[in-house]
Amino acid sequence: MTVKKAKSGIEFWQGNEACAEGAITAGCRFFAGYPITPSSEIAEHLALRLPQVGGIAIQMEDELASLGAVIGASWAGAKAMTATSGPGFSLMQENIGYAFMTETPCVVVDVQRVGPATGQATKCGQGDVMQARWGTHGDYAAIVLSPNSVQEMFDMTVKAFNLAEEFRTPVILLADEIIAHMREKIVLPPLDKVKIVNRRKPEPDEKAFFGLEEVPPIPSFGEGFNITVTGSTHDEYGIRSTANPVVHRKLVERLVGKILKNTDEIVDHESYNIDKCKVGIISYGCTSRTVYETTELAEKEGIDAGFIRLKTVWPFPEKIVKKMTKSAEVIFVPEMNLRQIFYEVQRVVGDKVPIVAVNKIGGGEMTAPEELLAEIEKELR
Amino acid sequence: MSEAGIKKFMRDVPLPFCPGCGDLTVMSSFLRAVQELGYNSLRKFVFCSGIGCAAWIPSPHFIADTIHTTHGRSIPVATGIQLVRPDLKVVVFGGDGDLTGIGLSHLIHAARRNVDLTVIMVNNMIYGMTGGQVAPTTPIKMKTTTTPYGNIEQPIDTTRLVVAAGASYAARWTTAQADKLREAMKKGLRTKGFAFVEAVSHCPTAFGRRVGLKTIVNILDWFKENSISLEYAEKMTEKDLEGKIIVGEFVHRELPTFTENIYALIKEAQKSAEKG
């Protein structure tokens, strides 16, 4: 089959479009989704573009089926993705747990809007941060990336696929309405300059695809391996074990461990002046764009400010947050929710430095730079 | 056909089913169907199943690629597999709870899309694994663990529903007609597009003992006495058909499949993309 290549060069794109093209560049050849604002443009763009590169894009009857089809496609050997927003993300939690338990590489994009429930469908929010970490039942460790630009909607979609393939786990791209719907200049690297990771395949005589190694090799259906995939507790060979405590411990401790033990390799952040700052700001996603300007304004006022932007929210980048406490005398955590990452910062920082939550929800309104600056000045007074 | 003939398809792990479970009849009927179609191994097959007793028929017992999914989601998973690997035979096993309760919407949509799948539904008319609760298929008035005063809901006619939704093939037989059931499975496996085989099945543990059919023979006799052929049923009134099991081949037709349509679309999209 001839393949119309993924794009490269300079473009002026919407975030959702960049995400869809990032998926194609990463090698995604299967998309299944269900329409939901503000993520629908990803499905629409892939419906147009995936067939051009020989891929499949389908609309399923709901989000349960969408992620189900993605899981099936992944086991059939395709890199696969779905995209949704809060209400759909809630429906996907069961299959996210299933993909985690069965070590199925796949990417789930959650373009956050205002919740809970239907909330405000067209307005931005950051209320799914904890759901992305703890949404599925049982013990779990998540890889969750947080883009803050159209460029990163592209780059981080590629990265999400790479991490999913490397660690054999579902990876969540936790975008938000602002980043997904705004348009910006984007530089698409030449295809041969993009790092692409592909899942490790087994040797022909291998039989253990669920646990002799931290990240076991993964065959595809139809290759003669007689794979037994199950969401029930299973041994290294995929054979169900519904009551044995040792089998369960071994499996789930490895699944959680393969992510948490590799936190340093997985996490990424952007930081500014964290070695010297007296005022630290920790943010992620759309809110971090406010922080750039706030920092400039603060410096003009003679405040020694610095920031950390979490490009990976889960696993939580503890080391860099701890580093900030060496100089910062107060840390601000602005979020478009009623405190979510705030508690995680508090867990890491403890009593060492006071932490101030700055929160705003509803209507897609974010804390403006002036407002955040006012909060900082109030605290310093 | 000997039992030894179908053993080659099976992994040497203990079977989890209760003594006298209808799943064993469905399992051996299916494997004999495969054998009779000339397959010497299941390497061209992928088996998908959800949650419930019937989901354990292929997983992990068949020597093949098997995927035991979340409750009700076997059909979406099967759809993903089938589209990516249209060269493989994707077969779904599920119970009535899995496919007509929690997973009903997927069953309808897969039939509507005419996804190239063979779906075998083991209908024991009850939630067996969880202890005999009412199912969408439970006969009216029947006492179950969650209908202690008797079931007040009309049972669903799944096979007719699948026909209405657009399946290529649909048939229903009971485990008392194992030969017919096997033939239907063979036909389903040979059908291009969505094939549905409903096996009304005996569950002595969770169903039989609650309706006073204490032995497997009692249940099979009840199936035989109440089975009405499709042709005969057409001449009967709705009232006469109450509590009966209509058996036979409900539809067998040639329709374009989802896979065919998608790959034609891809070809078209690639052609027009090249033209710019």
Residues of chain B in Cβ contact (below 8 Å) with chain A: 13, 43-44, 46, 48, 59-60, 63-70, 72-73, 75-85, 87-88, 105-106, 109, 262, 265-266, 268-270, 273-274
> What is the β-pairing status of strands A279-283 and A183-188?
unpaired
The answer to whether residues A298 and A248 touch, using CB atoms and an 8 Å cutoff, is: no
pLDDT recorded at residue B1 = 46
Q: Count the Cβ atoms, other than its own, within 10 Å of residue B211.
A: 18
Contact partners, residue A26, CB within 8 Å, separation at least 6: A79, A157, A158, A160, A161, A162, A196
- Give the dihedral sign, CA A125/A127/A131/A133: positive
Of A2, A70, A221, nearest to B85 by CB-CB distance is A221
A334 forms bridges with which residues in the sheet? A358
For range B193-212, the mean pLDDT: 95
Distance CA B118, CA B137 (A): 20
| Partner-chain contact A72 B270, CB within 8 Å | no
Please report where in the chains the tokens 């999209």 appear, as a residue.
B269
Of A72, A238, A240, the CB nearest to B81: A72
Which of B43, B81, B262 would best serve as a mutation to test chain A binding (most A beta carbons within 10 A)?
Answer: B81
Give me the CATH topology for the region A270-380. Answer: Rossmann fold (3.40.50)
B3-275 homologous superfamily: Thiamin diphosphate (ThDP)-binding fold, Pyr/PP domains (3.40.50.970)
Amino acid symbol at A255: L
Residue closest to A82 by CA, chosen among A27, A136, A23: A23
Is the per-residue pLDDT at B258 higher than 50? yes
Q: Contact A199/A218 with Cβ under 8 angstroms?
A: yes
Spatial separation of the C-alpha atoms in residues A174 and A207, rounded to whole Å: 35
| pLDDT at residue B76 in the model | 98
d(CA B96, CA B104): 9
The nearest alpha carbon in chain B to A76 belongs to B81
Burial call A236-271: b when 16+ CB within 10 Å, e when fewer: bebbbbeeeeebbebbbebbeebbeebbeebbebeb
User: Buried (b) or exposed (e) across B26-62, using 16+ Cβ within 10 A?
Assistant: bbbbbbbbbbeeebeebbebbbbbbbbbbbbbbbbbb
From first to last of its 381 residues, chain A has per-residue pLDDT tens of: 334 466 778 999 999 999 999 999 999 999 999 999 999 999 999 999 999 999 999 999 999 999 999 999 999 999 999 999 999 999 999 999 999 999 999 999 999 999 999 999 999 999 999 999 999 999 999 999 999 999 999 999 999 999 999 999 999 999 999 999 999 999 999 999 999 999 999 999 999 999 999 999 999 999 999 999 999 999 999 999 999 999 999 999 999 999 999 999 999 999 999 999 999 999 999 999 999 999 999 999 999 999 999 999 999 999 999 999 999 999 999 999 999 999 999 999 999 999 999 999 999 999 999 999 999 999 998
Q: What is the pLDDT of residue A151?
A: 98
Distance CA B172, CA B223 (A): 12
pLDDT score at A2? 37
Q: Of A82, A80, A97, A72, which Cα lies nearest the Cα of A30? A: A80
H helix runs in A198-317, sequence order? 245-260, 263-266, 287-300
pLDDT of residue A288: 98
Pick the CATH number of A9-193 from 3.40.50.2000, 3.40.50.970, 3.40.50.10860, 3.40.50.300: 3.40.50.970
Rounded to whole angstroms, the maximal C-alpha distance in chain B is: 70
- Nearest residue on chain A to B66, alpha-carbon basis: A228
Of A283, A268, A297, the closest CA to residue A366 belongs to A283
Q: DSSP letter string over A39-57? A: THHHHHHHHHHGGGGT-EE
Please give the residue of chain A at the shortest CA–CA distance from B59.
Answer: A228
* Token pair listed for B233: 């049923």
Whole-number pLDDT of residue A1: 34
Every domain of chain A with CATH number 3.40.50.920 lies at 270-380
Predicted confidence at residue B2, as pLDDT, reads: 56
What is the crossing angle of helices A15-26 and A40-49, to 10°? 50
Separation of alpha carbons A68 and B82, rounded Å? 12
Token pair, residue A216, equals 């076991």
Q: Give the model's pLDDT for residue A67.
A: 98
Q: What share of chain B has pLDDT > 70, as a percent?
A: 98
Which two structure tokens, joined as six digits, stand for A13?
Answer: 């794109």
| Residue pLDDT, tens place only, B218-246 | 999 999 999 999 999 999 999 999 999 99
Domain ranges in chain A with CATH number 3.40.50.970: 9-193
Q: Which of B126, B106, B104, B114 is nearest to B21 (CA)?
A: B126
By CB atoms closer than 10 A (0-12, 13-18, 19+), residue B242 is exposed
Record: contact B105-A61, CB cut-off 8 A: yes
pLDDT at site A7: 73
The token duo for A130 is 């904890």
Domain-by-domain residue ranges, chain B?
3-275
Alpha carbon distance A208, A228 (integer Å): 10
Query: What one-character DSSP code corresponds to residue B144?
Result: B
